[in-house]
Chains A and B, each alone.
Chain A
Amino acid sequence: MLSNTLKNLIIVLGIGIGSLLLMSCGEQKAELATRAEAEEAHHDEAEEAHVEAVTLSPEVMEEFGIEVGTAGPGKVEIHLDLTGEIKIDPDRLAHIIPRFPGIVKEVRKKIGDEVKKGEVLAVIESNESLAPYEVKSLIDGVIIEMHLTRGEVINDNTHAFIVADLSYVWADLTVYQKDLPRVKIGQKAIISASPAPVTAEGRISYISPVVDEATRTAIARVVLPNYDRQWLPGMFITAKVIVDVINAPVVVPKTAIETYEDQTVVFVKTAEGFVPRPVELGRENDLYVEVLSGLEPGEAYVTKGGFTLKAELMKEAFSGGHGH
């Protein structure tokens, strides 16, 4: 009887344990026969992936817009953007003042008129001599100011006319303190007045020796020829000052530069594929940058679309080299 009960008990336990095992899916598993081999294969793959080269077929490169160029010399113009305004050259300005006080008898010119040197601008009857005398222009130029009306009594200390010779004007550019070291006399400047499409080229001929105490800015001046009068004094202008021109052995477009693993790199085409090559960059402008080291002239490198290559490398890094 006892042995019978014992037998039954064992059976129950067997059933119970058997079912429990079934429910606890996957507690024990048989080793896969091929696991060791598979692991080895994986290791090999992982090591290969560590070379960090990306190979792409020409079709894929075209599909993704990846372009390759050859490293070579180039000229990089480095410029500084400045703002400023057009001013009249004080040397080309004439203040015309009546010699004697008197009554304006005749006004021959009006504001904006072109006048020649010696041309009569007005006739004034002197208070002292009661004789009319002519007021003449001192220079060739344009009347930009006029302060007399016929019949008016005018003093000998009044600016009757201001005549400006606008054939040359000054472009005074505001230079902020931080840019001062880079701006030099003789540098080329491309000056434009927006929105009118007026541009001119000139060279910096003067830099103010002192910095304005209030604005903390200095002035760089370009004298602009203005025969066709396109530069109107008072105009707000912007200038691109070429502060440096480098002729470097290797110059690449900025689209070629990528940041990969905290390094600045250019993707170079090698026999294994595209490899990120750390480079040292020199001076740059908006479009181009000088490569100081890391890229030799004649090497093929990716000029555009390097991001895709970088992303591919990063992908391999985080998926451990196992693609799909």
Chain B
Amino acid sequence: MKGIINFVLRNRLLMLVLGVLILAGGFYSYKQLPIDAFPDVSPSLVQVFTVTEGLAPEEIEKYVTFPVEVAMNGLPNLERIRSVSNFGLSVVNVYFKDGTDIYFARQLVNERLQEAREQIPEGFGDPQMGPISTGMGLVLFYYLEDTTGQYSLTELRTIQDWLIKYQLQTVPGVTEVLGIGGWEKQYHVVLDQNALLRYDVTVNEVIEKIKANNLNVGAQFIEKNSEEFIVRSVGLASSIEDLENIVIKSDDGTPIYLKQLADIKIGGAIRRGVQTRNGVEEVVAGMVIKLYGTNSSTVIGRVEEKLKEINKILPPGVRIVPYYQQKTLVEAAVNTVTSALLQGIMLVVFILMIFMGSIRPSLVVAISIPFSILFAIVGMKYFGISINLMSFGGLAIAIGMMVDGTIVMVENVDRMLRQSGRDEPLIHVVARACREVARPILFAISIIIVVFLPLFTLHGVEGKTFRPLAYTVALAMLGSLIFAMFLAPVLSSLLMRRPKETDNPKTSTNIWLVRKLQKAYRPIITFFVKRRLLAVALAVVLMLIGAIVFPQLGSEFTPTLQEGTIVLRLTMAPSISLKESTRITQIVERRVMKIPEVTGVVTRIGRGEVGAHTDPINSAEMYILLKPREEWRTAKTQQELENVIRKEVGEIPGVLANFTQPIQMTVDELLEGVRAELAIKLFGDDLEVLKEKADEIAKVISEIPGAADVQADQITGTPQLLIKVDRHAIARYGINVEDVQQVIRAAVGGETAGQIFEGVRRFDILVRFAPEFRSTPKAIGEILIEAPNGIHVPLSQLATIEEIVGPRQITRENSQRFITIQCNVVGRDIGSFVEEGQKAIAEKVDLPPGYMVTWGGQFRLQQEANKRLMVVIPITLLIVFLLLFSSFNSLKNSFLILLNIPLALVGGVVALWISGQNLSVPSSVGFIALFGIALENGMVLVTYLNQLLKDGVPMDEASVQGAMLRLRPVLMTAITTALGLIPLLLSHGVGSEVQRPLATVVIGGLITSTLLTLLVIPAIYKWFAINIESERQLD
């Protein structure tokens, strides 16, 4: 220690230069760091989508999902596979272990997809990987506004798909742009069954003919007068007229044109999603998806620039209107922490001024803040941590702590300067003062860094959320240690001056505040030192209070981050038609529009282009656009406004409504496949049994107090029209099953017969029967099938047609079917709710063999976190103890200091209880921070008490004198730490929900631990005092 301090003071210039270099480096790194709203907690996941239009869930599971799942089994680093087979869509989520490189994972999946493709029957779709993005990748949503009213939804969608999309995809950092809403343009060949009969043509013949009359070829070149002429033959149909004039067959030289058999017109593709706005119109919308690992703020910035450019080239009257941008959130989150940071700095400097009573020492201490922060930023750059709510939050938390080391040092210098003789060179005084406290400072700060160790071991979501915070705190503390050790002595020697002659040179009591405090403190501490048992009683009482209050606290995982965007999610009956769900959604939109704070509503129903959302059409996500918060009148907070909306929307017959937020929604879905806090999964084989038991479980759960939004997955409930081919009947006519099914597919579902090119834009030609020939079961029964001998047989003569209710979707995890019951918990902690729920299910629900229940959702994450902390915290305590021991060389001293911990915890617990907050991961992080802070004060005090004892001061006197002398630094470090957190405590900005419990715990804990340090420790020090004799012998 001595060596370091002496070396530092000898090389002051070198130290200053190095210090300036670190500052510059920090500033440079700051400019380079990516900025995000939150740490991205998405799992390492590769999604495989397969679109098979028109196929029912059972077939999707059998033909598509299963082969994909099988192919993915056994991949390295694989964690689990979850799949959803929906109507027309198979989604297989391949989860890899955390930290797996996403490009590596994609490559693995891609290799195996080749195998899967071979297993999937021809025409059943082609599995594709989802966008290279994460749950936070949906950075911007927009819709197209047409002020002229002259563009149809089909035209607008064409603008979206062929103009905007391709323009936006050129923006660096954008991986995908997905369109939804309106109609995708198609050329519809609407067949008249009677005409087919009249001219004796089959659907397949029509499709063949269209395909055969729509192509261009190249035929190399010919030479003509030394020149080459490229030969190309143009036969592409390019208009409705071209299609109409395709000759389907020729009867005695009389051509039969397609137009005689069908109506050819431009129409919309079959769609599984709609986008509506304000309850009055349908719109065309798009979603911009950010590439994995890119900087949100820059990508969004570039997208915005591009949107401006695109707006210029759009047809007059058409405009892109963004309605959701992550940028606002990013800005808000960064604002919250930055302003907390700045306010914290100001408060801390203010406190310094008061306690030091002079600018110079305050300045030395204040410089440690920017130094530590910039040092931390250099580290962030090195570790690849982005600027976000958590990482900057860590800095905000650390503000009060970063000054502690320097405070102790500067305070000691200040004190010594006041006491030192006039003739002693200033630099010697500084060296002496610094040497005295350097060792405890080193250990105290090391301990703070060490107590953050448990956070580094967190895994999964909680790890991704809180690790950046742990990093920045640890880095900032390291920075502050470096400052205290290497720069504080230098700066003290340069900046600090001896007090003027006129002042009382003996003590620091010339500062008014300190004088007053000491005056008040002396009788109290003398009292306690004399009646030690009272001090113990005080500590015990505090502990008891903590013990009483603790069980009253609820627990949750992480308080919900308010993203500032409210999404109202509507779930409708599973059998609903898109038309009906659109109608109902618009009714709800109109209700929401009545709220004065709402400026607009944009809703996505179902899914658009595959890649981001896989929702079925009975699910609608309503983005509620709000006025700026200053203009709100009916509500002040987002929570209140949600209640207002809840009230206004009221009961919607046939619709379940719940609130969520864009990022929360997406991330939750990626994590568990469900978007509620709690997910109960029932595994088993038979869909019917699964559904029945899931409903029972849902009923049991909903009766537990605190249950809200209980919902069993709607796996069944989709009506099906089941056409079963009668093999005997077809045998009589010599028809094959395939012949029948081909006609059913083309006639009822429609079949693509090539494409029409308009420049590079290409649009499908869809051949399908006119609605009157296919839209009722009866009409389907009348569809004619041609037998090999040319006669026509109605379908109902070859097959039975019945209406049944089938599954809506089939969910599987690790190749086993399961059903999810999701649930939110309101007004109580999830932990106890789960306990009660598990008991209730065991008692009331009778599960057949082979069926089992697992609990997931946020609850599972919390359990995992707890389990790990159970191991890590004792280890941390051990390390802390070892550090203490090596600092004091005394078991008793170490225990005395450790005594701070329980008392600090008491304060944290009580503070949580008073403020009505729950135990959660952020509050646990607060407790962890508290460990370190609480120990620091105790260390400073005990060190000095030991010193006094060694100097031969009697025990009682030493206790009082030590406490008196350390009053100023102890109070200063405690108050700066607490005040540094006050802005976080009071902030209502985005993200403050996560920081508040943490700040609450630390502030509360600081109060009790400071009380302990100042009142109890000096009093009971006697029992834990070092053995002076043995110490002396050692020295």
Partners in one complex: yes
| Residue ranges of A at the interface with B (Cβ–Cβ < 8 Å) | 4-5, 8, 11-12, 14-16, 18-30, 32, 35, 38-39, 42-43, 46, 54, 56, 60, 63-65, 81, 83, 176-178, 194, 214-217, 236, 238, 259, 262, 286, 307-312, 314-315, 317-324
B755-774: CB near A (< 8 Å → 1, else 0) gives 00000000000000000000
Q: In the complex, which residue of chain A has the Cβ closest to the Cβ of B571? A: A315
**Residues of chain B in range 913-933 having any CB-CB distance to chain A below 8 Å:** 918-920, 924, 927, 931
Q: Which 10 A-B pairs have the closest CB atoms?
A: A311-B654, A26-B831, A26-B555, A320-B702, A25-B555, A311-B573, A29-B832, A25-B919, A312-B653, A236-B198
Interface centre among A12, A20, A311 (most CB of B within 10 A): A311
Within the complex, which residue of B552, B695, B866 is in contact with A24, where a contact is CB–CB below 8 Å? B866
A64/B653 contact (C-beta < 8 A), A18-B905, A176-B793 known: yes
Q: Tell me whether B709 is interfacial, beta carbon within 8 Å.
A: yes
Contact, CB under 8 Å: A19 / B573: no
A216/B654 contact (C-beta < 8 A), A16-B874, A43-B703, A321-B702 known: no
A30/B791 contact (C-beta < 8 A), A236-B198, A286-B776 known: no
Within the complex, which residue of A18, A23, A320 is in contact with B869, where a contact is CB–CB below 8 Å? A23
Q: In the complex, which residue of chain B has the Cβ closest to the Cβ of A318? A: B712
Q: Tell me whether B829 is interfacial, beta carbon within 8 Å.
A: yes
Q: Tell me whether B710 is interfacial, beta carbon within 8 Å.
A: yes
- B residues near A309, Cβ cutoff 8 Å: 653-654
Q: How far is the CA of A87 from the CA of B832 in the complex (A)?
A: 83
Q: How far is the CA of A318 from the CA of B421 in the complex (A)?
A: 83
Q: In the complex, which residue of chain A has the Cβ closest to the Cβ of B789? A: A214
- A residues near B829, Cβ cutoff 8 Å: 25-26, 29
Contact, CB under 8 Å: A29 / B705: no
Closest beta carbon of chain A to B974's beta carbon, Å: 20
- B residues near A319, Cβ cutoff 8 Å: 656, 698, 702, 709-711
Q: How far is the CA of A19 from the CA of B902 in the complex (A)?
A: 7
Within the complex, which residue of A42, A65, A83 is in contact with B194, where a contact is CB–CB below 8 Å? A83
Q: How far is the CA of A175 from the CA of B873 in the complex (A)?
A: 85
A19/B877 contact (C-beta < 8 A), A81-B782, A83-B197, A319-B710 known: yes
B642-666: CB near A (< 8 Å → 1, else 0) gives 0000100001011111100000000
- A residues near B702, Cβ cutoff 8 Å: 319-322
Q: How far is the CA of A29 from the CA of B553 in the complex (A)?
A: 8
- A residues near B855, Cβ cutoff 8 Å: none
- A residues near B699, Cβ cutoff 8 Å: 46, 320
Contact, CB under 8 Å: B924 / A23: yes
Contact, CB under 8 Å: B899 / A11: yes
Closest beta carbon of chain B to A306's beta carbon, Å: 10
Q: How far is the CA of A30 from the CA of B797 in the complex (A)?
A: 69
Q: How far is the CA of A46 from the CA of B192 in the complex (A)?
A: 53
8 A-B pairs (CB sep. < 8 Å) = A8-B891, A23-B873, A26-B830, A30-B552, A309-B654, A311-B573, A314-B717, A321-B702
- A residues near B881, Cβ cutoff 8 Å: 12
Contact, CB under 8 Å: B895 / A8: yes
Q: How far is the CA of A75 from the CA of B654 in the complex (A)?
A: 33
Q: Tell me whether B909 is interfacial, beta carbon within 8 Å.
A: yes
B114-148: CB near A (< 8 Å → 1, else 0) gives 00000000000000000000000000000000000
Contact, CB under 8 Å: A314 / B653: no
Closest beta carbon of chain B to A282's beta carbon, Å: 16
Contact, CB under 8 Å: A11 / B898: yes
Contact, CB under 8 Å: B830 / A314: no
Contact, CB under 8 Å: B576 / A15: no
Q: In the complex, which residue of chain A has the Cβ closest to the Cβ of B899? A: A11
Contact, CB under 8 Å: B698 / A32: no
Contact, CB under 8 Å: A20 / B654: no
**Residues of chain B in range 843-869 having any CB-CB distance to chain A below 8 Å:** 862, 866, 869
- B residues near A315, Cβ cutoff 8 Å: 573, 654-656
Q: In the complex, which residue of chain A has the Cβ closest to the Cβ of B732? A: A216
Contact, CB under 8 Å: A46 / B703: yes
- A residues near B797, Cβ cutoff 8 Å: 176-178
- A residues near B866, Cβ cutoff 8 Å: 23-25
Contact, CB under 8 Å: B587 / A63: yes
Q: How far is the CA of A194 from the CA of B263 in the complex (A)?
A: 13
- A residues near B877, Cβ cutoff 8 Å: 15-16, 19
Interface centre among A30, A42, A307, A323 (most CB of B within 10 A): A307
Closest beta carbon of chain B to A83's beta carbon, Å: 6
Q: In the complex, which residue of chain A has the Cβ closest to the Cβ of B794? A: A176
A19/B895 contact (C-beta < 8 A), A14-B902, A24-B870, A38-B705 known: no
Contact, CB under 8 Å: A308 / B584: yes
Q: How far is the CA of A17 from the CA of B755 in the complex (A)?
A: 71
Given A318-B714, A319-B702, list of 19 further CB < 8 A pairs? A15-B877, A16-B877, A18-B905, A19-B877, A22-B909, A23-B927, A25-B553, A26-B553, A26-B555, A26-B832, A32-B828, A35-B705, A46-B703, A176-B793, A178-B797, A259-B803, A314-B573, A320-B698, A322-B707
- A residues near B778, Cβ cutoff 8 Å: 286
Q: How far is the CA of A38 from the CA of B827 in the complex (A)?
A: 13
Closest beta carbon of chain A to B489's beta carbon, Å: 35
- B residues near A32, Cβ cutoff 8 Å: 705, 828
Q: How far is the CA of A228 from the CA of B803 in the complex (A)?
A: 46
Q: Tell me whether B580 is interfacial, beta carbon within 8 Å.
A: yes
- B residues near A5, Cβ cutoff 8 Å: 891
- B residues near A26, Cβ cutoff 8 Å: 553-555, 829-832, 919
Q: In the complex, which residue of chain B has the Cβ closest to the Cβ of A38? A: B705
Q: How far is the CA of A231 from the CA of B925 in the complex (A)?
A: 89
Contact, CB under 8 Å: A238 / B651: no
Q: Tell me whether B719 is interfacial, beta carbon within 8 Å.
A: yes
Q: How far is the CA of A233 from the CA of B554 in the complex (A)?
A: 87
Closest beta carbon of chain B to A219's beta carbon, Å: 14
Closest beta carbon of chain B to A137's beta carbon, Å: 30
Q: How far is the CA of A321 from the CA of B707 in the complex (A)?
A: 12
Q: In the complex, which residue of chain B has the Cβ closest to the Cβ of A45? A: B703
Closest beta carbon of chain B to A196's beta carbon, Å: 13
- B residues near A35, Cβ cutoff 8 Å: 705
Contact, CB under 8 Å: B873 / A307: no
- B residues near A308, Cβ cutoff 8 Å: 584, 653-654
- A residues near B789, Cβ cutoff 8 Å: 214
Q: Tell me whether B796 is interfacial, beta carbon within 8 Å.
A: yes
- B residues near A15, Cβ cutoff 8 Å: 877, 898-899, 901-902
- A residues near B292, Cβ cutoff 8 Å: none
Q: How far is the CA of A32 from the CA of B835 in the complex (A)?
A: 14
Q: How far is the CA of A15 from the CA of B576 in the complex (A)?
A: 58
Contact, CB under 8 Å: A25 / B924: yes
Within the complex, which residue of B705, B791, B805, B924 is in contact with A262, where a contact is CB–CB below 8 Å? B805
**Residues of chain B in range 666-719 having any CB-CB distance to chain A below 8 Å:** 695, 698-699, 701-703, 705, 707-712, 714, 717, 719
